[in-house]
């Protein structure tokens, strides 16, 4: 789904945050895991904006990459909602 448009750093960043999310779910009593997951989510919001703006294809190649750019933008739009939910989970675990 990522096609050729986005570089490997986009995938590595998002997959490592996914791994942090799995770690935060598995260790329910760890506040550090949820803080690292929240920090990673906030960092990938910034890097996703940079990746999409730098590697956005020109108009003549847009039809080939419409699926991958659409999913990247959709993921970027859902990340603030994820950050809010993870912050609520952080507060439930005793974070200040």
pLDDT score of 37: 94
**Measured between alpha carbons, how far is 5 from 34 in angstroms, rounded to an integer?**
31
Model confidence pLDDT, tens digit, residues 51-65: 888 887 776 666 666
Model confidence pLDDT, tens digit, residues 8-20: 888 899 999 999 9
10 CB neighbour count, 10 Å cutoff: 21
Exposure b/e, 36-67, CB count within 10 A at least 16 = b? bbbebbeebeeebeebbeeeebeeeeeeebee
Q: Is the pTM of this model over 0.85?
A: no
């Amino acid at each position: 789904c990522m096609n050729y448009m986005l570089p490997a750093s986009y995938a590595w960043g998002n997959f490592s945050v996914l791994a942090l999310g799995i770690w935060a779910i598995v260790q329910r009593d760890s506040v550090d895991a949820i803080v690292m997951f929240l920090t990673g989510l906030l960092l990938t919001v910034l890097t996703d904006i940079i990746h999409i703006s730098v590697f956005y294809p020109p108009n003549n190649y847009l039809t080939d990459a419409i699926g991958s750019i659409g999913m990247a933008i959709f993921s970027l739009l859902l990340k603030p909602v994820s950050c809010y939910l993870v912050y609520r989970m952080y507060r439930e675990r005793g974070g200040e």
